[in-house]
Amino acid sequence: MTRWAPDAALRLEAAALDLVAEQGYAATTVPQITHRAGLTTRTFFRHFADKRDVFFLRDREFPRVVAAALEGLPAETAPLAALQQGLERATSPLAQWREPILRRRAVIRAEDQLRERELLKSGHLADAIAEALVARSRPGTEVTPAEARLLASVAVLVFDRALDSWLDGPPLSPLSAHLADAWRDLAALFGP
Amino acid sequence: MTRWAPDAALRLEAAALDLVAEQGYAATTVPQITHRAGLTTRTFFRHFADKRDVFFLRDREFPRVVAAALEGLPAETAPLAALQQGLERATSPLAQWREPILRRRAVIRAEDQLRERELLKSGHLADAIAEALVARSRPGTEVTPAEARLLASVAVLVFDRALDSWLDGPPLSPLSAHLADAWRDLAALFGP
DNA sequence: CCACCTTATGACATTCCGTGTCATGATGGC
DNA sequence: GCCATCATGACACGGAATGTCATAAGGTGG
């Protein structure tokens, strides 16, 4: 597909993470990042909308992955069950990325500018989930747009919480277990 | 208190809202805003951390208001009930601000840069709520920090949803009714 | 009434962010 | 081999955001 070095975005991401680990986010400039990656400043902004975006390269396709997982489920599956199963399937590949995700989270947590971008990405994930829920809505398991938005918000809340406890927990505990815990904790607030 | 014109921040906010309504957010520059408010660019950044922040002047004290409402409740009130009552009390003054809140939401919805800032403010609200829940935790209605964060996330989700449906609904419907609806909708997902 | 301190603002300089535009070189189709 | 395409380089430029010093307004204590 791409001709030149196909990993320009990945090189920029790696350079950015290195520099931020050394100097912090504020002290790291885009020219520094591009110089380390062997590129120019202008090229950086062709791959990323702004300086913050370089730290969210991996999140770009995740909404589509979750949406695809949802639409791949049997039509009879009720919305809430579909969210549980869809999240579990979409997140299973994350197991092998635990360490880089951990390092990236440390960077994001340290800077409000990155934290708000992370929240926006979660918002986009919720949008994609809501859209997918409406798309797979069938007579019998009907989902209105308003219900879909609520379900999607809840799903993202559960996902974020499960991801956090997974990253904070022992290295080998499966993410799926933390997802189940998060669903159970939430239901326990309203159930008996 | 303040000596010069005590309303510099308010003037800047009004000028910014006017200009954005006329030209859109991207086309509006900070020099334009400050010129209309009769101030200089440098003064803008003394009142607001960045260009986006001018649209969130009103949200600054809201986390403290909610936290105060929570801590003003009887210690016996269970956490979930405390959140319901606390939100209802803290939001009751919003009734008179419906129109300006509506205009502001239209501006924020139109721009991702403002939407992500709004999400960060919601995050700060959740932080304040979680902290307040832990602070009012008593033997009998014990709340761990992890539970508090979950409860706070749920409360913010409910608040955001109720605010949206309130703004989308008829002008005179009380916000408290939309809050109750949002709590009921959420519980219905997990209850019977 | 006067020196003094505090504080909001103005004025100026500077760095970096982000974008528009055109040129260049590499690639692949035909 | 010619040409269209696309990633990148090079250059220019306006705006965001900050550091620093100066100034004016007001309050305070003598």
- The one-letter amino acid code at B177 reads A
Q: By the 8 A CB rule, do A26 and A110 touch?
A: no
User: What pLDDT is recorded for position B140?
Assistant: 81
CA–CA separation, A58 and A63 (whole Å)? 11
B80 touches A: beta carbon within 8 Å: yes
- Quickly give A106 CA vs D21 C1' distance in Å: 38
Which of A187, A173, A155, A168 minimizes the C-alpha distance to A87? A155
Residues of B in contact with A117 (CB under 8 A): 116
Residues of A in contact with B80 (CB under 8 A): 189
User: What pLDDT is recorded for position A1?
Assistant: 39
Q: How many residues does chain B have?
A: 192
User: What pLDDT is recorded for position B1?
Assistant: 41
> What residues does B111 pair with on adjacent strands?
none
Judge: B190–A185 Cβ closer than 8 Å, yes or no. Answer: no
Judge: B154–A157 Cβ closer than 8 Å, yes or no. Answer: yes
Q: By the 8 A CB rule, do B62 and B90 touch?
A: yes
Q: Which residue pairs, CB below 8 angstroms and at least 24 apart, start in A77-83? A: A77/A141, A78/A141, A79/A133, A79/A141, A79/A143, A79/A147, A79/A148, A79/A151, A80/A151, A80/B189, A82/A133, A82/A136, A83/A129, A83/A133, A83/A151, A83/A154, A83/A155
Please tell me the class of the B8-54 domain: mainly alpha
pLDDT of residue B4 exceeding 80: no
CA–CA separation, A19 and A28 (whole Å)? 6
B157 touches A: beta carbon within 8 Å: yes
- Quickly give B2 CA vs C1 C1' distance in Å: 25
CA–CA separation, A16 and A51 (whole Å)? 9
Question: Is the fold of B8-54 the same as that of B61-190?
Answer: no
Burial of B83: CB neighbours in 10 Å, binned 0-12, 13-18, 19+: buried
Q: Which residues contact A97 (CB under 8 A, 6 or more apart)?
A: A58
A110 touches B: beta carbon within 8 Å: no
> Which residues 47-66 of chain B have a CB under 7 Å from nucleic chain D?
49-52
Judge: B150–A116 Cβ closer than 8 Å, yes or no. Answer: no
> Smallest CA–CA separation between B118 and chain A, in Å?
8
- The nucleotide lying nearest A32 (C-alpha to C1') is C16
Q: Which two tokens stand for residue A140?
A: 């019998």
Residues of A in contact with B122 (CB under 8 A): 119
Judge: A154–B187 Cβ closer than 8 Å, yes or no. Answer: no
State the number of CA atoms in the 13 A half-sphere of A165 facing the CB. 22
- Judge if the beta carbon of A5 is closer than 7 A to nucleic acid strand D: yes
CA–CA separation, B57 and A126 (whole Å)? 27
For chain A positions 160-179, those within 8 Å of chain B (CB to CB) are: 161
Q: What's chain B's average pLDDT?
A: 95
B189 touches A: beta carbon within 8 Å: yes
**CATH topology assigned to domain A8-55:** Arc Repressor Mutant, subunit A (1.10.10)
CA–CA separation, B140 and B152 (whole Å)? 19
Which CATH number applies to A61-190: 3.40.720.10, 1.10.357.10, 3.30.1370.60, 3.30.450.20? 1.10.357.10
Q: Which two tokens stand for residue A38?
A: 């062997």
Which residue of chain B has the CA closest to A151?
B189
| Domain ranges (residues) in chain B | 8-54, 61-190
Residues of A in contact with B150 (CB under 8 A): 161, 185-186, 189
- Judge if the beta carbon of B173 is closer than 7 A to nucleic acid strand D: no
Segment B64-92 shows an average pLDDT of 97
> Smallest CA–CA separation between A173 and chain B, in Å?
18
B4 touches A: beta carbon within 8 Å: no
User: What pLDDT is recorded for position B192?
Assistant: 65
User: What pLDDT is recorded for position B28?
Assistant: 98
> What residues does B138 pair with on adjacent strands?
B141
| Triad A59, A157, A55: Cα angle to 5° | 25
> What residues does A138 pair with on adjacent strands?
A141
CA–CA separation, B16 and B34 (whole Å)? 8
Q: Which two tokens stand for residue A65?
A: 């992955």
Which of A120, A98, A97, A117 minimizes the C-alpha distance to A108? A117
> What residues does B147 pair with on adjacent strands?
none
Segment B107-123 shows an average pLDDT of 98
Q: By the 8 A CB rule, do B32 and B54 touch?
A: no
Q: By the 8 A CB rule, do A145 and A134 touch?
A: yes
Residues of B in contact with A49 (CB under 8 A): none
Judge: A115–B112 Cβ closer than 8 Å, yes or no. Answer: no
User: What pLDDT is recorded for position B9?
Assistant: 96
B123 touches A: beta carbon within 8 Å: yes
User: What pLDDT is recorded for position B80?
Assistant: 97
Per-residue pLDDT of chain A (192 residues; tens, 9 = 90+): 345 566 899 999 999 999 999 999 999 999 999 999 999 999 999 999 999 999 999 999 999 999 999 999 999 999 999 999 999 999 999 999 999 999 999 999 999 999 999 999 999 999 999 999 999 999 888 999 999 999 999 999 999 999 999 999 999 999 999 999 999 999 999 976
